[in-house]
Structure 1
Amino acid sequence: MHGFGRVALLVAATSLTAPALSAPTLAPGKSVPIPTLVRQVSIPHSSFKLANGLTVIVHEDHKAPVVSVAVWYNVGSKDEPKGKTGFAHLFEHLMFNGSENLPGDYFTYLQQVGATDYNGTTSYDRTNYFESVPTGALERALFMESDRMGHLLGAVTQGVIDNQRGVVQNEKRQGDSRPGGLVQYELFGKLFPPGHPYHHTTIGSMADLDAASLEDVKQWFRDRYGPNNAVLVLAGDVTEAQARPLVEKYFGAIPAGPVNHPAMASVPRLTKPVSVAMKDHVAMTIIQRYWPVPGLLDKQLAALDIGASVLGGLASSRLDKMLVRNEKIAVAVSASLSPLQRAGMFNVSAYVTPGVDPAKVSKRLDQIMADYIAKGPTKDEVQRAVMSEVSGRIRGLEKVGGFSGKGQTLAEGQVYAGDSDFYKKTLATYAAITPEAVRTAMQQWLRRPALTITLAPGERPAYDEAKTAEVKPAPKEAGVVKGNRQIPPVGQLAALDFPPIVHTQLSNGMPVVYAQRTTVPVTQISMSFDAGSASDSPQQRGLASMAMDLLDEGTSKLTSQEVAETEERLGADVSATNAGDRSYVMLNALTPNLAPSLDLMDDVVKDAAFRDDDIARLRTQWLTGIAQEQKDPTRVANRLLPTVLYGANHPYGGPPGDPKAIEKFSRADFVNFEQRWLRPDAAKIFIVSDKPLAEVQPLLEARFGKWAPPATPKGVKTFIATPARATAPKILLIDRPGSPQSSIVGGQLLPIDPRADVVPFDTANDVLGGTFLSRLNMDLRETKGWSYGVSGDSSVVEHAVPYVVSAPVQADRTGEALAAMNADIVSFLTTKGITEEERDRTIANNINRLPGQFETAGSLLSAMMSMDVLKRPDNYYETLAARYRAQTVASLDQAARAALDPKGFTWIVVGDAAKIRPQLDKLGMPIEVVEAP
């Protein structure tokens, strides 16, 4: 774990994905040359345009019976005039709330066909909608997208607007209430001057949304969401010959609208340095510097991006090396480029080590940057940064859709640059970057005045509460115009074809589990050890996790810095992580670099140094990270929940790290953990590779086949009896003054054997809390508008099945929200069981989405490891369709009622006690005020 893995950084990085690649041959021990990699990257596609101006792009990828459908509208928040901020984002929500021929929630229709990777997002520069559907449902998906493009406004009523306004307000509250959540308003408001398209945030002004009339909203749509302002991309199991007539059929009759000319803007320049001091619920001072820089289409983009990586983006970055590893005056650093279409932001951040003077860190930050800007990076630094960038994009090639798959890559280039091959030109630019180009770009842009935002621990200013919309469900249907288009049937859908799994072993008996995926030249390996957090004693919570973090922090041959540099040269990712029941060392390698990447993995697994210096550094990071978790309401609740469910002495019964224990961990503790738990007789290797097993196994044998266990006795986990769940509900209240939202988390342990058939309960719970359309979410989000999202779900671990409800809600509705969830759960388990429609929709969704669930090597690897922990057969996922079909309304109701007890919940509520305690008192449950763990 490099940098600050346990604390969420406050700056979002931007990444672009790349496409298909065939493996070049390579001499053993050498990294494949970057130009060779880049030349192989290609997303072959065709394109055509309808008479109404709709641009259509088709990419064929027949590895799975799935097609990604993505529609990008050339409109974002930068195009909003004064007084209409937030309109683009509001329409992202409205376009999921039904159209004239598809009334109700769009997620209903997506789940009926088993869609995966579906969502919609709004940025400063565009709005997009995407879903991956089984091939047989492509025509239905095109009908759906065309209906909300050409037949939406008849379904947009005042009730719908009021409802989604409330949802957006809670989305804003949820983001704002997080530590550092208010920084964005200072950032965009100060970096971009008034009148600049990026001066306001995408979520916009709640006052503007509250003032919007129904006609204002409809006119916004008419002016900007026509087919001539859109790009449709189909990527996956489809040909142009199949796509063209369907696109013509469903989109061809939609009339063109006014042309939306995206707002133009220059890169602003601050006339002098600007400093903003803020306070918030943070555990350390955070120093952030921002410079306005050119946007996505500028020739210097790649140079600035690589410059940021070398400075503070790579694990081996200069700021990491100097401020974190060597001087230890920062617990984390970052540098990143966030490019928008017209301009971008170059950011450098330092998270000050508690007890260190922030002024000292600020001064050192400036000194390091001045030297770096003056001299530029070395050739080796540039090569490592470019290899990391290119290999990261290659790993995104497998997916046809989702947030960053091949379809989105083509759409992005077409919308922003008018060039669907923009990704290819960008990669070529990265491959050609020189240290001189980086130095020139940084000298031009980073010697200008910067905006500095310093976020220090303290009380944040009073929150400017958004007006709460009065949501009245009844008028939601008033005035709806019904359409007359015929919904097309769904065609034949393919069954899941899970790839064959091969079991073998190395000469020392270490089991190997292998599957092949040939889509991209990538090999993913997981060495699984039977340890995990459950191996921690109650007095040493966090030992296993911190030990795994230390593995890649240095070996006897390589320092932490050298481990990071080696990974970057190879385009490999060696990581060590910890779960509840297992500990893992993972390798994600470019297959041409597999041999040297395995050398590094071998070194990390068998030769961890556990240097005192690294232990001290990670100890500070862990303690600071836990202190930061105490500032976040939902994380506070989740840290307390395991002890509530299992008891403090159960292997699952503690938070993932106890500060008192972490302060005492010594090198001997980590060495002892390694000797007892990270050993060949407690290990199993899982592999998904484009190479056949016959080529991979000798590489594993050479490194791990002769690995012998130490003389130390193997560790044994002791599971005490799982405690009985509560027989009466109660509330544990944790005070967080000033919070605009409350976080409600409720949990209980289910009387389900984790290794038994969990399908009936999981399917029933999809109706209650497991999907967007669940009763809990639809009630609190879509009907009442009190939350941005509610979920209730079980998680199956080796020895237990906990069930957790999570609901961030607006503070003034905390009591009512908890009462509503209780009522929903009680009615679900008694008088209002699952309906035939809910059963049919849920079963169809679970069956039809199976092929799309295992599109990537990573998803396949996770499934293989899960089956191993729960002792399931290799064909487990292929048996699921028949199990789903066998479920009836009666069997699902029975499964839910046998497992879930509405009286068995312990509710943890984190929020402003002064505001919410009177609300909770009305519920008649015992209330205990507790401190955060």
Structure 2
Amino acid sequence: MRKFLYAALLTLGFVGSATAASDSVDIPFTRFTLPNGLTAVVHEDHKAPVVAVSIWYHVGSADEPAGKTGFAHLFEHLMFSGSENHKGTYFEPFEQVGATDMNGTTWFDRTNYFETVPTTALDMALWMESDRMGHLLGAIGQKELDTQRGVVQNEKRQGENRPYGRTDEVILANAFPANHPYQHDTIGSMADLDAASLDDVKQWFNDYYGAANTTIVLAGDITAEVAREKLLRYFGDIPAGPPVPRQQPWVAPRSTSTRGEQKDHVAQVRIIREWNVAELGHADEPLLELAADALGGGKTSRLYQRLVYKDKLVDSVSVDVQAFALASQFNLTADVKQGVDPARVEKAIAEEWATFLKDGPTDEELARSRMSSRAGFIRGLEKVGGFGGKATVLAESQVYRGDPGAYKLDLERIQAATPESVKAAANRWIAKGDYTLTVLPLGDDETVDESAPNGLPAAPGKPAPVLPAKREFATTKSPVDRSEGVPKVSEFPDLGFPDIQRGSLKNGIEVVLAERHTIPVVQMQLQFDAGYASDQGRKLGTSSFAMALLDEGTNTLDSVEIARRSERLGARIGAGSGLDSSAVSLNALSSQLAPSLALFADIVRNPAFREADVERIRGQWLSDIAQEKTQPTGIALRTLPPLLYGDQHAYGIPFTGSGTEASIRSIKAKDLRRFHHDFIRPDNVRILVAGDTTLPAITAELDKVFGDWRVAETPVPEKAIGHVDAQKQVRVFLVDRPDSPQTLILTGSLAPSTKAPNNLEIQTMNGAFGGTFTSRLNMNLREDKRWAYGASSFLQDAIGQRPFMTYASVQTDKTAESVAEILKEAREVVGDKPLTDAEIARIKTQRVRSLPGSLETTGAVLSVLSANALYDRPDDYIRTAKARIEGLKDANVEAAAREVIRPDTFTWVIVGDLAKIEKPVRELKLGEVKVLDADGKLVR
């Protein structure tokens, strides 16, 4: 979130034009303070009938005392357990009104909660937020604490179960002194989480969750006058709480270089380097963002040019800044190529670093950084809430800097930045004092060291916390009778979806447009009938590999020049494949549409597939496959599809789309040219457009670049997506992943196509069974048993038979028990405990009422066009969705469950530490058990 947000902040000065003054930029807001000290910020945006509610408490893991690490985040989880006047999970009322972008997060300096709701549901949302803010402790008992403690501990295990998932703890311990608020990571230690008590909960709530320590941002379809009345009504009676001592900035820069080493289940060596740098709000911090972009911000950056293109030492390299209230971190990450000595990589980095510190960035580097950032912010303006919308910009500025418009100061600094000023800032902060962590693959007989990392000792110089100026606060009597429960929401806004218009180019290519003029951006997708399924009869991974090579060079441009031009234009161009289609996408500023389209068309029509580019991407691709084979989810998604479909089926391939190492090694440039000739062609494409244009205007522009594209003499190859008979019995496949603190459990079976007439019934059934937070699977394994951070079921969309899967990553010692619970839930939903009328009604209601919020952005509109085209849906599919969903019959939804969920034919893929899980799983006697390796090959 920080990286996105700061990109937004960088660009605010360029909303008008590339040379506009930063003081001409504004996210209009009204700020006021309630008598109890609560700070309110209101931003009006009436483009959609939704309001983003974003509540920030000025407390985070930096405020945790010794022995209480992880408590801020644990408390965030407890805030979702219910309140005194609403028992049970917090999510249920929000699901009923169709809330979107709903979550809570904790970081060093704040804890926030947010949701976007239909305008008519704002009272309900404010009632819920105020009830847990002012009326929580009576609803929190030992059961709730134990439940959320278990969930958080499994969240920690899940993070550590990923490759490189243990690095943050080591880096923080060696970046900051022991007495620094940032020395421990936000999720904390298992021991401290185990020690958390109900008294701790109450003390934390009383110390930090008062009104005077809270900022509420309302952004969207609301006025300041209405907001003031509603906030006073729901929050005015909540006490201010005690004064909260504010931690003061303490960068604690280091003067010497230090280093450490960590071994883990990883596929390649990773070098991570960190410097402590200026905090958020410091004059140097935005200049360091510019330095990071020049050094490692993408293909055009200096380190990427040197290490990837020139010396071919790494598969990837990046540099960024994570900005926080007390100190920031300047980070470099490089994944070393197999067989390369890490010392060579470090030497090359040191040389590029020294050159940058000596010369600084060029004017051209700064200009490109500003333009790409500008475009990123303009795109972000569509969102009022979520992780990175306008509410986040305003809230962060207010909470950390006391002014919702504080971002403008950074804009002035960005506008005024010169190569000399960026160079000077870099020399002040990143010329010395780095900590380098080298992560190495474990040897055959080595195990993960789970002991706490050795860290820096305490240091002098820590500033004392400062109490805020003394103020007088008062509560106001609330007219709300909370005994009546959550306010009922009886009216909901209608979905506003643009008319779909159709046209064609001179050569017959179909153009489909949905106009939306909320921001000056045009998005489009060229959808080709290809995808992973077109790999059948070819080398696996050909479609994905070929699409990835499109923007790596054309007949006249190399990959670096393509990247430079994209950055100058503020355009985003991407290409890829799914199961049934391949696509190339463009996201362009309206003002730069013509040159962006010219670049886009060159990439689509004239890929060079040069041998040097093929070899470079091949190396990165093989590295990605190796990484997938160290990730539990990657292993499972590579292994399951061939087991479900058979390795001769079009879908019997790794669902990661990356193919196999053998197939990728064998792919030649001629294979890629053949794929492009066969599938990326004018008689196999639809052009889908959404955004700030009209049909005549976009058709004219597209004709200039695609209208003369000629059809090949040979026909488009036909894809053969055969039918697969259902399995007759349960199969269990185990994959060993030693030292895993969690086990990944994935089941698969075959369901009807996304194009099936009862697709809505199937989706509704899945929502109740495992597709939502309050679904049966999640409430069982997360909220009841607390064996997992989450459990779910989902369907992968497909034109042919699609896979129905259940997923859970569970603590290792509960593997067999979790398998039994998943099986029990599956058998019950098609047996003696079918979905109830209430469960079905809940999903139907949630799906209908979430439509306005889920279609807030141009990208979401384009996704509708894409799905309509791929699955042969009519243009009015979304506009008629409400009636079709509401018209679903419960009996048909229950029948869909019986059609799709066949627990006695499940294929189970279970990835974990076999030394601990194999015997208990075998004792379940589900069916034949086999052990596979990470390539899906039989071991025994």
> Is the structural similarity TM-score above 0.5?
yes
Is the contact made by 1:23 and 1:591 (CA closer than 8 Å) also made in structure 2? no
Partner of 1:637: 636
Answer yes or no: is 1:53 the counterpart of 2:37.
yes
Deviation, structure 1 residue 340: 0.9
Q: Map 1:748-827 to 2 at 5 A.
A: 748-751=749-752, 754-827=755-828
Query: Aligned partner of 1:806: which letter?
Result: Y
Q: Following TM superposition, by how much is the alpha carbon of 1:671 offset from its aligned partner in structure 2, in angstroms?
A: 1.1
Residue equivalent to 1:732: 733
> How far did residue 647 of structure 1 move?
1.0
How far apart in 1 are the matches of 2:819 and 2:768?
A: 18
CA contact (8 A) 1:19 1:41 kept: no
Give the drift of 1:37: 8.7
Q: In 1, are the aligned partners of 2:56 and 2:113 still within 8 Å (CA)?
A: yes
Per-residue CA deviations over 1:584-618 (Å, capped at 9, x if unaligned) read 11111111111111111011111111111000000
- The aligned residue for residue 718 of structure 1 is 720
Task: Could you tell me which runs of 5 or more consecutive residues in structure 1 were left unpaired when the two chains were aligned.
Answer: 1-10, 26-31, 467-481
2:535 is matched with which residue? 536
Whether the 8 Å contact between 2:278 and 2:284 is mirrored in structure 1 is: yes
| Residue pairs, 1:18-37, within 5 angstroms | 18=8, 33-36=17-20
Residue range with higher mean Cα deviation, 77-86 or 457-466: 457-466
What is the aligned counterpart of 1:122 among 100, 106, 118? 106
Q: Distance in 2 between matches of 1:752 and 1:541?
A: 23
The AA in structure 1 aligned to 2:35 is A
Q: Does 1:82 align with 2:66?
A: yes
Counterpart position of 2:6: 16
Distance (Å, rounded) in 1 between the aligned partners of 2:384 and 2:895: 39
* Residues paired across the two proteins, number: 901
Query: C-alpha distance in 2, partners of 1:649/1:155?
Result: 56
Structure 2 distance, partners of 1:236, 1:294, is: 33
Aligned partners of 1:610 and 1:670 also within 8 Å: yes
For 2:255 and 2:428, locate their aligned partners in 1 and report how far apart those are by CA, in whole Å.
15
Alpha-carbon distance in structure 2 between the residues aligned to 1:185 and 1:251 = 38
C-alpha separation in 2, matches of 1:593 and 1:248: 46
Q: Secondary structure at the match of 1:426?
A: helix
CA offsets 1:460-488 (integer angstroms, 9 cap, x no match): 7446499xxxxxxxxxxxxxxx9635432
Query: Quick one: which amino acid aligns to residue 611 of structure 1?
Result: R
| 1:156-175 alignment, distance < 5 Å | 156-175=140-159
Q: Does 1:556 align with 2:561?
A: no
Matched, 1:502 2:501: yes
Cα deviation, residue 86, structure 1: 1.0
How much does 1:802 deviate?
Answer: 1.4
In structure 2, distance between residues paired with 1:196 and 1:127: 19
1:847-858 correspondence to structure 2 within 5 Å: 847-858=848-859
Structure 1 residues 886 and 23 mapped into 2: Cα distance closer, same or farther (>3 Å)? farther
Instruction: Indicate conservation of the 8 Å contact 1:538/1:654, yes or no.
Output: no
% identical aligned pairs: 45
Q: Cα deviations across residues 96-125 of structure 1 (Å, max 9, x unaligned)?
A: 010001110011111011101100000001
Contact kept, 8 Å, 1:21 with 1:521, in 2: the verdict is: no
Q: Distance in 1 between matches of 2:10 and 2:695?
A: 22
- 1:650: which partner in 2? 649
d(CA) in 2 for partners of 1:494, 1:465: 54
- In 2, are the aligned partners of 1:21 and 1:40 still within 8 Å (CA)? no
Note the C-alpha offset of 1:899. 2.5
**Paired AA for residue 700 in structure 2:** P
Q: Which runs of 5+ in 2 are unaligned?
A: 453-480, 936-940
**1:515 aligns to 2:517 (yes or no):** no
For 2:395 and 2:230, locate their aligned partners in 1 and report how far apart those are by CA, in whole Å: 19
SS at match of 1:744: strand
Cα gap change, 1:850 to 1:66, in 2 (>3 Å): same
CA distance in 2, matches of 1:13, 1:252: 35
Task: Give the stretch that moved more between structures: 87-96 or 495-504.
Answer: 495-504
Structure 1 pair 24/288, CA: closer, same or farther in 2 (3 Å)?
A: closer
Question: Hey, what does 1:911 align to over in structure 2?
Answer: 912
Distance change >3 Å, CA 12–CA 356, structure 1 → 2: farther
Deviation at 1:578, TM superposition (A): 1.3
CA deviation map 1:822-878 (0-9, x unaligned): 001111111112223322322221111111111001111011111111000111112
TM-score with structure 2 setting the length: 0.93
Taking the aligned partners of 2:168 and 2:811, their CA distance within structure 1 comes to 21
- Given candidates 288, 291, 296, the residue that maps to 1:307 is 291
Q: Give the aligned partner of residue 674 of structure 2.
A: 672
Check whether the contact 1:19–1:394 (CA below 8 A) recurs between aligned residues. Answer: no
8 Å Cα contact 2:11/2:374 also seen in 1: no
CA distance in 2, matches of 1:845, 1:37: 44
Letter in 2 for 1:301: E
- Once the two structures are TM-superposed, the CA of residue 259 in structure 1 deviates from its matched residue by 2.1
Q: Displacement of 1:508 after TM fit?
A: 0.4
Counterpart Cα distance in 2 of 1:20 and 1:42: 13
1:593-648 alpha-carbon deviations (Å, 9 max, x no partner): 11111111011111111111000000100011101110011110111111111111
Q: CA deviation at 1:529?
A: 1.2
Q: What are the residue-to-residue correspondences of 1:854-869 with 2, within 5 Å?
A: 854-869=855-870
Looking at structure 1, the residues matched to 679 and 257 of structure 2 have their Cα atoms a distance apart, in angstroms, of 53
SS at structure 1 position matched to 2:375 = helix
Q: How does 1:405-444 map onto structure 2 within 5 Å?
A: 405-444=389-428
Name the amino acid aligned to 1:853.
S
Is 1:547 aligned to residue 546 of structure 2? yes
Partner of 1:317: 301
**Aligned partners of 1:24, 1:918: CA distance in 2, in Å?**
62
Show CA shifts across 1:777-836 (max 9, x none): 110000001000111011221122210111100010000000001001111111112223
**Residue 767 to residue 17, structure 1, CA distance change in 2 (3 Å):** farther
Inter-partner Cα distance in structure 1 for 2:711 and 2:266: 44
How many angstroms does 1:12 deviate by? 8.6
| Counterparts of 2:412 and 2:299, CA distance in 1 | 24
Asked if 2 retains the 8 angstrom alpha-carbon contact of 1:17 and 1:406, the reply is: no
Aligned to 1:895: 896
Query: Match of 1:722, SS?
Result: coil
Equivalent AA in structure 2 for residue 406 of structure 1: K
The match for 1:929 is: 931
CA displacement 1:171-221 (0-9 Å, x = unmatched)? 000001111111111100000110100001000122122112211211111
Counterpart of 1:35 in 2: which secondary structure? coil
Code of the aligned partner of 1:692: T
SS of the residue corresponding to residue 820 of structure 2 reads helix
More displaced stretch, 37-46 vs 139-148: 37-46
Tell me whether 1:456 sits opposite 2:448 in the alignment: no
Moved more, 564-573 or 895-904: 895-904
2:210 maps to 226
Aligned to 2:459: none
Rounded to whole Å, the distance in 1 between the matches of 2:145 and 2:617 is 49
* Residue 216 of structure 1, aligned match among 174, 177, 200: 200
The TM-score with structure 1 as length reference comes to 0.94
* Distance in 2 (alpha carbons) for counterparts of 1:101 and 1:399: 31
- What's the counterpart of residue 830 of structure 2? 829
The one-letter code matched in structure 2 to 1:48 is: F
Q: Following the alignment from structure 2 to structure 1, what is the Cα–Cα distance between the partners of residues 482 and 519? A: 44
1:675 and 1:700 map into 2 onto residues whose CA distance is 21
Report the equivalent of 2:661: 659
Is 1:97 aligned with 2:87? no
1:642 is aligned with what amino acid? Answer: P
- The answer to whether structure 1 residue 876 and structure 2 residue 877 are counterparts is yes
Q: Which of residues 691, 694, 700 in structure 1 aligns to 2:696?
A: 694
CA distance, structure 2, for counterparts of residue 110 and residue 428 of structure 1:
40
- Identify the residue that residue 464 of structure 2 maps to in structure 1: none
Whether contact under 8 Å (2:754, 2:871) holds in the other structure is no
Are 2:749 and 2:805, in contact at CA under 8 Å, matched by a contact in 1?
Answer: yes
1:237 maps to which residue? 221
Is the 8 Å Cα contact of residues 737 and 913 (structure 2) preserved in structure 1?
Answer: yes
C-alpha contact 2:14 2:374 (8 A) present in aligned 1: no
1:197 matched to 2:181? The reply is: yes
CA contact (8 A) 2:53 2:385 kept: yes
1:527 Cα deviation after fit: 1.1
Aligned residue identity for 2:377: R
C-alpha deviation, 1:754, in angstroms: 2.4
Matches within 5 A, 1:284-433: 284-433=268-417
